[in-house]
Amino acid sequence: MDWNAMWNDIQNFFRNNGWNILLFIAVLAFGVIFIKLLLNILKRLLNKTKMEKIAMQFIVGVVKVLLYLVLVLVLFSIIGIQITGIMTAFSAIILAIGVALENNIANFANGIVIISSRMFSKGDYIVVEDVNNVEGSITNINFLFTTLITSDNRRVTVPNSMMVNNPVTNNGANTTRRVQITFSVAYESDVELVKKIVTDVMKSNGKVYLDKDIFCRLKTINTSSLDFYSYCWVDKEDYWDVYYYLMENVYNEFKRNNICVPYSQMEIRNRNDIVTRPVIGNSLPNRIEKQREIVEDFDLENIDLAKVFKYHRKKNKSKTNKTNSNKQDSKKEIVENDLMDTAMEQSIAKKEKESESVPTSLKGEEETLTKKVEVSQELEVSTKKSDTEQN
């Protein structure tokens, strides 16, 4: 091997490309500094938005990879390497990698789905309901995987495809959680006493919400026990503290009140004593009917339109019949009033003729009588009108 020739080639390369080498170093240094400053500005802008931290990390990571890729292509062009050849080779490599890493590409796409849809946020305690039921708190979501930290401080990496394609229970999505516990006691236990003990223990913990439901009722009459279902509401970070507090203190209160916690057993014995079991009340309570509102659903897809139109036609017919009857009644009243008026006019005319033939001494008496008759007739007419109006 000719070392002198090799050394000469190196010297010639630096002499001919000295300025390109200096430009390469300057662009490399300036490009790295520029990329870091640009990423810092991008992080500050994203922090001012309401975007979640995991989504911001994902976006910053994508932008970082793209910027460094552009910087590498620029450096290659400065050295003299043709970018077109690199791009064709790079596309062929990407195609081969895409075929070989089909699952990873699916994980990448599902990672974008998780970030864009805001399915989870950092710190949420989730349970992935697959074969192993993986659970833990989310610490990071990257291009391919989601990282969880379990309660015993183990790190679990779950592919993003598994997060999207399987049911996931998010226990940390809301600020409060419900602590649900089932307590089993012996058959001879007092139901009301058990309920009181459980609710009192729940109320004794300051982390339990008093303005929300504190519940305990007999749920199941089991083969060897009475099962009581109970729950209360707490903040999500206090869930396990309250859970263990209830288990320990309810058990202690059961022992203090001589309430036995049963277990699967078989008893064979002769009993001669009389077993006393507490009973509430003398009989079943009287039934109190619930007042329910009748709500008619109007569904255009399933409703019978013929019945609807018939119903409206019946309504219109009844309205027209009522109006016609009212019109006929008013006409009858008008005719009766006209007849009464004509009769009164005829009687007055006759009296005037008779008064002309009667002496003047009797005219005063007749006038008073006629006035009394007119007043009585007017009273009768008014009474008849009032009766017709009432009818």
Task: Write b or e for each residue in 112-150: b if 16 or more Cβ atoms lie within 10 A of its Cβ, otherwise e.
Answer: eebbeeebbeeebbbebeeeeebbbbbebbbebbbebbe
Residue that wins the pLDDT comparison between 139 and 1: 139
**Are 158 and 180 members of one domain?**
no
| Helices of type H across the chain | 3-16, 18-48, 53-79, 83-100, 102-117, 160-165, 191-204, 239-256, 305-357, 360-390
pLDDT in tens, 250-291: 999 999 999 988 877 666 777 777 767 777 777 777 878 778
Average pLDDT, the chain: 76
CATH of residue 140's domain is 2.30.30.60
Does residue 386 have a pLDDT over 70? no
pLDDT for position 323: 65
**126 and 120 in contact (C-beta within 8 Å)?**
yes
**Are 96 and 26 members of one domain?**
yes
**Are 36 and 84 members of one domain?**
yes
What value does the mean pLDDT take over residues 79-106?
A: 70
Does residue 304 have a pLDDT over 60? no
Of the segments 15-24, 50-59, 63-72, which one has the largest average pLDDT value?
63-72
* Candidate from 55-69, 107-121, 327-341 with smallest mean pLDDT: 327-341
Residue that wins the pLDDT comparison between 168 and 179: 179
**Are 41 and 55 members of one domain?**
yes
**Are 16 and 64 members of one domain?**
yes
pLDDT for position 11: 66
What value does the mean pLDDT take over residues 215-229?
A: 91
Q: Which two tokens stand for residue 223?
A: 């083969």
Total domain count, the chain: 3
By CB atoms closer than 10 A (0-12, 13-18, 19+), residue 232 is buried
Task: Give the domain range for residue 7.
Answer: 3-100
**136 and 175 in contact (C-beta within 8 Å)?**
no
Does residue 361 have a pLDDT over 60? no
* Candidate from 17-21, 44-48, 57-61 with smallest mean pLDDT: 17-21
| φ, ψ dihedrals at 285, nearest 5° | -70, 155
Q: How confident is the model at residue 68 (pLDDT cuts 50, 70, 90)?
A: confident
What value does the mean pLDDT take over residues 359-379?
A: 59
Residue 340 domain-assigned (yes or no): no
Which uninterrupted H or E stretch holds 183? strand 176-185
pTM over 0.75: no
CATH of residue 230's domain is 3.30.70.100
Q: How far apart are CA 46 and CA 339, in angstroms?
A: 95
